[in-house]
Chains A and B, each alone.
Chain A
């Protein structure tokens, strides 16, 4: 494998290594949200790379076993509106709407009575939606449930943003380290680029093959996750 191939390899590996951290963070967020509101369920949707669907990325409570990975169109429904408007909303009698109940039941197997939903905002852009289903009506202090979820969604979004920035920093550090090592092996100055345009093209080809080889070893779910994460990272 070429040095440049190793460089790409390290970036791809860093991307894939991010997935468990990403999953753990999202799962922690939904479990905490569910706890705050003593709710039946909480879930996080993230926008897919094609920006056409919201994908269930983490679920706590009802639907936990089968919802992760399911997709809903981004241009309809409550989650779609929260995504598009970047505003939270509370709906407290969703089960009185037969069409909604049937659609939801068909796709998720669970029909909530109430939904609290807030956007995950990074630099003003919605990257996803957090929902809390069937919270208790217990008073939670001076703030309304909508405000509490909004505050918590902001914290979750900051966590995601930090994780993604950490990944970028790691990838850049690894890449720099690979470049330095490559320079030392070729006898070139560590501070110079050390390659002409022909070598650069060959390195890029080799890198692509290397990256594809690594991605080929992923299962389908890892690949989808990698796309979601990569898309989000490139948007940071």
Chain B
């Protein structure tokens, strides 16, 4: 069953906007309120079968991406959200030589590339200064939306409530402009954003080693679960690591969104979300 964990109380039954559903205990065939004869069994083939990601522009907001990593391949741009030279002028996004001092952004890029080998990848580094900065996240996201990227991967969030209103406005803007935001749920039972917004596609982890297997969560705010445990990923130093966390489930969903868009170019974010819903193991998709 899918866990319904409430922050603070752990009560399984209470509901309401304050509830945090932040983990999937055991994947199952629970069908969240649609007819059992839903006629979409072959939807995954229709949605992304044979797709390569060609023609779709993906932006990764993270710790940067290591250049020339064999599991990532070519980048179409590398930028960083940095404080403006004029004090008080906020953050701006500037080009920089690609690099990743943490490895995390490289891991996300490698996962998307593994699903969508011909997509265009661009890095915007928003982590890697002295500490993570909500201002950098806002600036990077604003830039990515204004640049018209098709998919933005956000395997990160901010725990600082003061950024919430601006993030929500940006998420809504992306939704209406046709940029799909795919955002990690926090791995701890804490409030963070933007994954909690309904205008983004939020992602947690399941433990099944199947890169295309997704579950829909009938108890949002986390809406989808993808493989996020013991995942072999690209890492800085031209190597790989075996890692766990929602961070690594998120680029799987971003990769699937990229595939869908490369086959069905004009779909809107709400349609992409609906396809993911219908393609989820516990909704429309069945083993054939």
Whether A47 pairs with B187 at a CB distance below 8 angstroms is: no
* Chain B: CB-nearest residue to A153: B188
| Interface stretch (choices B42-50, B51-59, B122-130, B174-182) | B122-130
Task: Say if the beta carbon of B286 comes within 8 Å of chain A.
Answer: no
The dominant DSSP class at the B interface is loop
Sampled A-B contacts (7; CB under 8 Å)? A78-B102, A88-B187, A92-B243, A124-B158, A126-B131, A147-B23, A153-B188
A92-B244 contact given A85-B132, A99-B239, CB 8 Å threshold:
yes
Inter-subunit contact B242/A150 (CB<8 Å):
no
Q: In whole angstroms, how far apart are the Cα atoms of A211 and B36 in the complex?
A: 74
Answer whether A144 and B239 are a contact pair too, CB < 8 Å, given A84-B63, A84-B102, A151-B189.
Answer: no
Cβ-defined contact, A121 with B159, below 8 A: yes
Considering only CB atoms, which chain B residue lies closest to A73 in the complex? Answer: B101
Q: Looking across the interface, which residue of chain B has its beta carbon closest to that of A103?
A: B237
Whole-angstrom CA separation of A143 from B129 in the bound complex: 33
Contacts of B230 in A (CB 8 A): 92
Q: Are B243 and A91 in contact (CB under 8 A)?
A: yes
Also in contact, A154 and B188, with CB within 8 A (given A87-B156, A99-B237): yes
A96 at the interface (CB under 8 A from B): yes
A167 contacts chain B at the CB level, 8 A cutoff:
no
CB-nearest residue of chain A to B232: A93
From the candidates A51, A88, A97, name the one contacting B188 in the complex (CB within 8 A).
A88
Decide if A74 touches B130 in the complex (CB within 8 Å).
yes
Name the contact of A96 in the complex, choosing from B129, B191, B239 (C-beta under 8 A). B239
Residue from B127, B157, B187, B192 whose CB has the most chain A CB atoms within 10 Å? B187
Q: Which residues in window 168-222 of B have CB below 8 A to A?
A: 184, 186-192, 207
Q: Which single member of A74, A78, A80, A90 contacts B244 (CB below 8 Å)?
A: A90
**Cα-based distance from A144 to B242 in the complex (angstroms):** 15
Cα–Cα, bound, A150→B7 (Å)? 13
B:140-169 near A, CB below 8 Å: 156-161
Contact of A144 among B63, B235, B240, B244 (CB under 8 A): B244
- Report A-chain residues with C-beta under 8 Å of the C-beta of B240: 96
**A86-B192, A87-B156 given; A81·B237 CB < 8 A:** no
Tell me if B103 is interfacial: C-beta within 8 Å of chain A.
yes
* B-side interface residues, number (CB < 8 Å): 41
Check: A142 CB closer than 8 A to any chain B CB.
Answer: yes
The answer to whether B243 and A81 touch across the interface, beta carbons within 8 angstroms, is no
Q: How far is the CB of A107 from chain B (nearest CB, A)?
A: 16
Nearest CB in chain B: distance from A52 CB, A: 6
A84-113 CB mask vs B (1 if < 8 Å, else 0) is: 111111111110111110000000000000
Task: Check if A83 is an interface residue, CB within 8 A of chain B.
Answer: yes
Tell whether, in the assembled complex, residue B159 and residue A91 are in contact, meaning their CB atoms are under 8 Å apart.
no
**Docked pose: A85 CA to B244 CA in angstroms:** 15
Nearest-Cβ distance from residue B131 to partner chain A, whole angstroms: 5
Q: Does A76 sit at the interface, judged by CB under 8 A?
A: yes
User: Nearest chain A CB to B34's CB is how many angstroms away?
Assistant: 27
Interface bits A120-152 vs B (CB < 8 Å: 1, else 0): 010011100000000000000011101100110
In the A-B complex, list the 4 residue pairs whose CB atoms are closest, starting with the nearest.
Answer: A150-B188, A124-B159, A84-B132, A81-B102
